[in-house]
Amino acid sequence: MIGDRSVNYWVTAIATQATDMGSWLFMGLPAAVYVNGLFEAWTAIGLVVGMYLTWRFIAPKLRIATESHESLTLPSYFAHRFNDNSGALHITGALLSLLFFIFYIASGLVGLSLLFESTLGISHQMGIMLSLSTAIAYTLIGGFVAIAWCDMFQGVFLLCMIVLVPIVAYNYIPEGFSHILASMTSHNKSISLIASPTDTLSALLLAASWGLGYFGQPHILTNFMGIDDPKKIKYATRVGITWQILVLASSVAVGLIGIGFFNNALDNPQLVFIRLVTTLFHPLCAGFILCAILAATLSTIDSLILGSGSTIASDLYQPFINPQASSQRLVLVSRIGSLIASSIALYVAWENTQSIHALVNYAWAGLGSSFGPLIILSLYSTRVTRTGALMGMLAGGLVSALWPYGMPLVPGFLMGIITIYSISLATSTIKK
């Protein structure tokens, strides 16, 4: 389930970053920039900062800590770290993981259905079934190591494609950047990162609402747990962050260039990348380029499918049903669990009309709020109690899941930290 912690740093670096991206990179972020303008680039800035901090301060400690506790998942690590024999941390962590994993998988399925529907005329339902079948096939056959290597190759491929398209598209815009600015101004879209002093707070909140999420994404953190040598994480950081900056900058550029190229005439902004490709490139080349969306989405879906199965096997089946289960039995249960979680995600995506951006935001915020505060405090504080950890995980996840306004990660993350600290202080005082 984590490849016997044997993956080299090059594969870890690119697989970790590719796991993070998905159809959102080609559809969600460009659409947000196309609709709102340059201000949405704060999403990319927040992601780069958040990912760097995660590589720098979380990855090495988490790799060492999970190996010392012989943990394969975050809930099992929490249970060992806080000496929880009741099973509460296992169950709570597993259920929260599965809830948000399912929505995350559904977002990828919706993205691929849009790809197939807009280019090949395949129905939404047929598109998500084809997508899920492909991801399930090699995930169940190969496991963690196969996924890591697939994600690495997919990451290199999608990097080349997403850099290529805005470069080519820009050359087809008359008057270049001045035309893009004029089009943005005429359609009342943001032309700067900070248009006024009051926008500063909004910019920081937008960056934080994405960047903070990295601290609690199990499908990303699992890659840190699988690297062969924690001392090589510093090299993986350089490779990974460079990759991330290039793909996010290119994704933002797709949205900006799309404004000038289509002059706000697109009915569905989520298709800006696809429309640029099918308009500018020969159909044979366009087919290869659009495979980058497939690569990006599969690199996210496969990790989520594997993560769902691992959670069911390690955090539900082994602790409560068969504590003496062999590694072979756990792998079998993991595969069955992957199928169950995937089937539920298929149901969620079947008639879903939400945007990819909204689905990813919901899942990203939920995972980040549930696990991010506890990951940080478990690695850097000795004052957290079992009760504080449990209630903080619940508070962060529920606040994020039920938050009725935008940017649910920030309030959920803050509530998680406050709850962990306050209840840990109260329960440690009672024990004394």
pTM attached to this predicted model = 0.88
C-beta separation of 318 from 330 below 8 A:
yes
* Type of residue numbered 70: E
CA atoms within 13 A on the CB side of 228: 9
Backbone angles phi, psi at 429, to 5 degrees: -70, -40
> Is it the case that residue 276 has pLDDT exceeding 90?
yes
* HEC readout, 389-408: HHHHHHHHHHHHHHCCCCCC
Helices (H), 263-326: 272-280, 283-311, 318-320
The pLDDT value recorded for residue 1 is 61
Domains and CATH numbers, the chain: 3-355 (1.20.1730.10)
Q: Quote the pLDDT of residue 196.
A: 64
Give the residue among 255, 368, 209 at the shortest CA–CA distance from 25: 255
Contacts of residue 313, defined as CB under 8 A and 6 or more positions apart, other chains included, come to 1, 330, 331, 333, 334, 337
What was the pLDDT predicted at 149?
A: 84
**Res. 137: pLDDT tops 90:** no
* pLDDT tens sequence across 188-201: 888 888 766 677 78
pLDDT tier, 432 (very low <50, low <70, confident <90, very high otherwise):
very low
Q: Burial code of 294-332, b = ≥16 C-beta within 10 A, e = fewer?
A: bbbbbbbbbbbbbbbbbbbbbbbbbbeeeeebeeeebbe
* Selection from 122-131, 263-272, 385-394, 401-410 with the highest mean pLDDT: 385-394
- pLDDT over threshold 90, residue 51: yes
What pLDDT score was predicted for residue 195?
A: 61
Give the mean model confidence (pLDDT) for residues 386-410: 92
In three-state secondary structure terms, 179 is helix
Q: What percent of the chain has pLDDT over 70?
A: 97
Residue 54 has pLDDT above 80, yes or no: yes
* Residue 72: band (very low, low, confident or very high) from pLDDT cuts 50, 70, 90: confident
The pLDDT of residue 410: 93
Residue 351's pLDDT band, with cuts at 50, 70 and 90, is confident
Please check the confidence at residue 269 and state whether its pLDDT lies above 50. yes
Average pLDDT, the chain: 89
Contact present, 178 and 42 (Cβ < 8 Å): no
- Report the candidate in 153, 225, 315 with the shortest Cα–Cα distance to residue 4: 225
